[in-house]
Amino acid sequence: MNAVQTIKLTKEFDGLVAVNGVDLEIKKGELFALLGPNGAGKTTTIRMLCCLLKPTRGTASILGYDVVRTPFAVKKLIGVSPQDTILSERLNCWENLALIGGVYGLSSDEVKERSQALLKTMGLVERSKDQVRKFSGGMKRRLSIAMALVSDPQVLFLDEPTLGLDPQARRAIWEYIAQLKGKKTILLTTHYMEEADSLSDRIAIIDEGKVVALGTSQELKTSVFGMRNMVVSTGNLTAEVIADLHNKYSRVAISKEKLKISHKDLDFKEIVDYLHSRGVTVHSAALEQPTLEDVFIQITGKQLRE
């Protein structure tokens, strides 16, 4: 049985299709990322899986329980950290955790024990008795994730867990998520490529409500599209050469004497020879592995970041 399974999952709002026939199969213990730009339908998908929105068409189930027919069975199995950090602002860490733990039916001893462990993992012990409205964004996010974990859920939904955080706080949260890998089934949404790249077992790239690519990070970058990047450091590029390169290759970007060429089955020697033949000085040239962003642009023709 899959931890999360959707079949042709669709959500329309007043005729606008937010999620369009999404098929997902997430195995138990897998860390799965939904990667896509803002408005791609990631949060809507999560909201349907958490029983907050009824699908217009299609089905979704968590560990075999249908989200529409058996929402309360589903809710007992899941933990959710919403995109906006939503806490009870005038409660402290313990009280926020106790609220969620209590609603899941844990005894106060269980709540206390788990809270203690979670606060330690999330580095919140020192401020645990302060009202959370005084916390920084990073601390709030860590507590929000702890709240999603306090019921020891089998399936964890993390909707943009690092959105709006500074790089340091983001890295800290990645570390916590990495610790959970293999222990929980995690569905994470993000529009940060590095996040999906470094954390997930598999990635689904989602755009305009549709899954446009699915696989491991490595599969997406290489085998599926065979995209390769080459970076050339040059001295005397002419407009003519640039135009020529644009015609021949999928993507050509120039910045500060650096030429970046992306193309399927790109031939290193062919490019160097061509540049030499046109009298362009080549200081250095190297092949680079494409990033998920390259993959995304290749598939959708759009930038991932706003």
Partner 1 sequence: MRFWQIGIRNLKEIYRNPVLLGFLLGMPVAFMLVFIAAAGGGQASPIALRIVDEDQSQNSTAFIQILGSVDAIEVKEPIYSEGSQAQADLRDGKISLYLLIPSGFEAAAQAQQTINLELVYKEADPMIGLQVKPIVEAVGSEFLGVAPPLNVELKGTESRIKNPAVNFYFPGIAVYGLMILISTAAEIIAGDREKGFLSRMFTTPARPWDFILGYSLPFIPVLIVSTLTYLGVGMALGLTIVGNLGYAFLIFFLIGLCAIGIGMIVGSLVKSASQAGVSWLFIVPMAMISGAWFTVDRMPSVLKSIAGVLPFIHGIDASRAVLSGSALSAIVLDLYWLAGWAVVLFAAGIALFRRTMVS
- Of 5, 26, 30, 75, the one binding partner 1 (CB under 8 A) is 75
Rounded to whole angstroms, the Cα distance separating 99 from 85 reads: 16
Q: How many alpha carbons fall within 13 Å on the CB side of residue 90? A: 0
Q: Shortest approach of partner 1 to residue 67 CB, angstroms?
A: 11
Q: Does 76 bind partner 1 (CB under 8 A)?
A: yes
The phi, psi pair for 149, rounded to 5°, reads -100, -15
Closest to partner 1 by CB, 61 or 262: 61
Q: Shortest approach of partner 1 to residue 270 CB, angstroms?
A: 54
Closest to partner 1 by CB, 84 or 273: 84
Rounded to whole angstroms, the Cα distance separating 143 from 133 reads: 12
Tokens found for residue 175: 């570390």
- Of 80, 119, 145, 206, the one binding partner 1 (CB under 8 A) is 80
Closest to partner 1 by CB, 144 or 229: 144
Which listed range, 58-66, 74-82, 121-129, 212-220, lies at the site for partner 1 (CB under 8 A)? 74-82
**x/- map, 239-278, partner 1, by CB under 8 A:** ----------------------------------------
Q: Which of residues 25-54 bind partner 1 (CB under 8 A)?
A: 50-54
Q: How many helices (H) and strands (E) does the chain have?
A: 11, 14
Q: Shortest approach of partner 1 to residue 62 CB, angstroms?
A: 11
Asked if residue 171 lies in contact with residue 192, where contact means CB atoms within 8 angstroms, the answer is: no
Helix (H) or strand (E) holding 140: helix 137-149
Residue from 223, 173, 222 nearest 194 by CA: 173
Asked if residue 294 lies in contact with residue 229, where contact means CB atoms within 8 angstroms, the answer is: yes
Asked if residue 191 lies in contact with residue 305, where contact means CB atoms within 8 angstroms, the answer is: yes
Q: What three-state secondary structure class fits 241?
A: helix
Closest to partner 1 by CB, 78 or 271: 78
Q: Shortest approach of partner 1 to residue 201 CB, angstroms?
A: 24
CA 266 distance to own-chain centroid: 28
Q: Which of residues 91-150 bind partner 1 (CB under 8 A)?
A: 91, 95, 98-100, 102-105, 131
Binding footprint of partner 1 on the chain (CB under 8 A):
50-54, 72, 75-76, 78, 80, 82, 84, 86, 88-91, 95, 98-100, 102-105, 131, 151
